Chain A
Amino acid sequence: MGAYLASIWDCRYFWLSLVKMDLRNRYRGSVLGIGWSLLHPIATTLVICAVYYKIVKADVREFVPFLMAGLACWTYLVGVTLQGCQCFIQAESYIRQHSLPLAVYPLRTALGASVHLLLALVVVVLLSWGLRGLDNVLALLSLVPAVLLLTLFGWSVGVLAGFANTIFRDTHHLLEIGFQLLFYLSAVIYPKELLYENNAGWLVDYNPLVAFMNLIREPVLAGRLPSAWDLGFAGSVVLVVSLLAGFVLHRWQKHLIHYL
């Protein structure tokens, strides 16, 4: 395990350069450049907010930061999983030429997605501050371990999704449908209290994606640290998924090239 991590560190210049290139390529030739990463969550939030304001008369000053915080986290989780599906296929030419540890390719995906998550969080914090003020600035420090936890989760999920999709090419499409379903079950665009009122609170209580969103929402919206339940739940999920990813790498790393 230690030797494997050391070998990943040894080729850090390679995967860091790929992350940088991915970010550069994403906005190559665009007028706004990385500004699209800031504009995209704002535009999505405004559209959803406009609808909600008409239908449920939600308080925009409360609802906009709530929605943006949830969407930032959700977009990261979906993005890192779906892009993770392609991580080994995309890196086929490297895998066929060099025997680098395979974990560097999902790491490239996770780090790229984490940069976008950080940008989105900057927008969330600034908008919250502008619209409703920040109750406790110090609580925002908990966003740092939250982002690290999400990055580790994204890396591990990327390993699993990458292996699954390389072997079963339908995985990507199945996950897309699964995420569509989960989107409406995970209280991304509505308060979780709505589910409690309809005796469906368990949908959010035992949903790890909600725990991840709470790691972002609690410090920004409520000005407090995430609850012990959310932290413990999210941490346990990351631990389990990381161990699973480690097992898959250990067991199947040498066989993956035969599926490419």
Chain B
Amino acid sequence: MARIILDHVYLTFRVRQQYQITLKEYLVRRMYRQSVNPLREVRALSDVCCDLRPGDRLGILGANGAGKSTLLKLLAGIYQPTSGRRTVVGRISSLFELGLGFEMEASGRQNILYRGYLQGETPRSIRAKMDEIAEFSELGDFLDTPVRYYSAGMLVRLAFSIATAIEPEILLVDEVLSAGDLAFQQKARQRMQDMMARAQIIVVVSHDLESLQRLCDRGLWLDHGRMMAEGPMADVVEAYTDHVHAQQLQVA
């Protein structure tokens, strides 16, 4: 049975002012016991707690840079907590950064295989889904063309079609509700709802408060990595919008 528990989770990024430390910089720093490219600590998440069980649909909201996507990646196991405990039981399927992870020289069909395997499919299971994925993506003969010839919209359509062809236990979604053009968006919305109906636990990150209220029953509002509110979705959205309006009045 799927379960997600975050127990007082903190995540700190150690970033440098410049992109990468070079060996020269490292040696110089060691020699003079100082740095020309110092490390800076950024607290991405602070004391985040939650306990999700089958049937829970959690929507995460907050301003840009609040830590929403970071929290989703932490749930997916891409980031590990700096302190605190993350416990996840169940097969995770994640829908974020959909445009990434394509092998540009390979055809659309070959990419369906690679991404399917990445999501835990076997050759037999992904071949069984190949026609359905191809049909949903509406890419037709383009599927036999290297994906480097695809437009950004075509890539997202293909990625969405592959990612949503699986049977998820835990589904993590980050702002993919607007994949593709208008016609595809309507289809994608229906597909997402079907998928969400099958998943045991869903966590959605979005700025679209209407979608969040339609899809989720629980909400979590983050601000600068801190939990500002957690509870029934309507209450959390109300607290968040009140906060935003208050801020706007202050600025005015």
Contact = CB atoms under 8 A, between A and B. Distances in A.
A199 interface: no
B172 to A, nearest CB: 11
A97 B100 contact: yes
Interface string A75-98: 000000000000000000111111
Given A14-B118, A169-B22, A174-B23, A99 B78 contact: yes
B97 A97 contact: yes
A95 B94 CA distance: 13
B210 to A, nearest CB: 27
A168 B97 CA distance: 26
Interface stretch (B57-65, B119-127, B175-183, B217-225): B119-127
B106 A168 contact: no
A174 B20 CA distance: 17
A68 B173 CA distance: 53
A17 B113 contact: yes
A254 B12 CA distance: 12
Contact of A98 (B21, B26, B78, B113): B78
A17 B114 contact: yes
Contacts of A98: 76, 78, 94, 118-119
Q: State the majority secondary structure of interface residues on A.
A: helix
A169 B119 CA distance: 30
Which of B94, B106, B118, B123 gathers most chain A CB within 10 Å?
A: B118
B184 interface: no
B97 A96 contact: yes
Given A13-B123, A258-B14, A21 B22 contact: no
Nearest to B77: A99
A95 to B, nearest CB: 7
Contact of A170 (B24, B78, B94): B24
Q: State the majority secondary structure of interface residues on B.
A: loop
Interface in A159-177: 167-171, 174
A168 B27 CA distance: 11
Q: How large is the interface on A (under 10, 10 to 19, 20 to 34, 35 or more residues)?
A: 20 to 34
Contacts of B14: 258
A96 B100 contact: yes
A14 B122 CA distance: 9
Contact of A99 (B24, B76, B110): B76
Interface in B167-216: none
Given A14-B114, A258-B13, A95 B78 contact: yes
A10 B73 CA distance: 21
A239 interface: no
Contacts of A203: none
B37 interface: no
Nearest to B19: A169
A178 to B, nearest CB: 13
B113 to A, nearest CB: 6
B22 A170 contact: yes
Contacts of A100: 118
Nearest to B126: A13
Contacts of A170: 22-24
Interface of A: 10-11, 13-14, 17-18, 21, 25, 28, 93-100, 167-171, 174, 254, 257-259
22 contacts: A11-B118, A13-B122, A17-B114, A21-B105, A21-B114, A93-B97, A93-B100, A93-B101, A96-B78, A96-B100, A97-B78, A97-B97, A98-B94, A98-B119, A99-B76, A167-B21, A168-B21, A168-B22, A254-B79, A257-B78, A257-B79, A258-B13
7 interchain residue pairs of minimum CB distance = A99-B77, A254-B80, A14-B117, A93-B100, A170-B23, A13-B117, A93-B101
Interface of B: 13-15, 20-24, 26, 73, 76-80, 92, 94, 96-97, 100-103, 105-106, 110, 113-114, 117-123
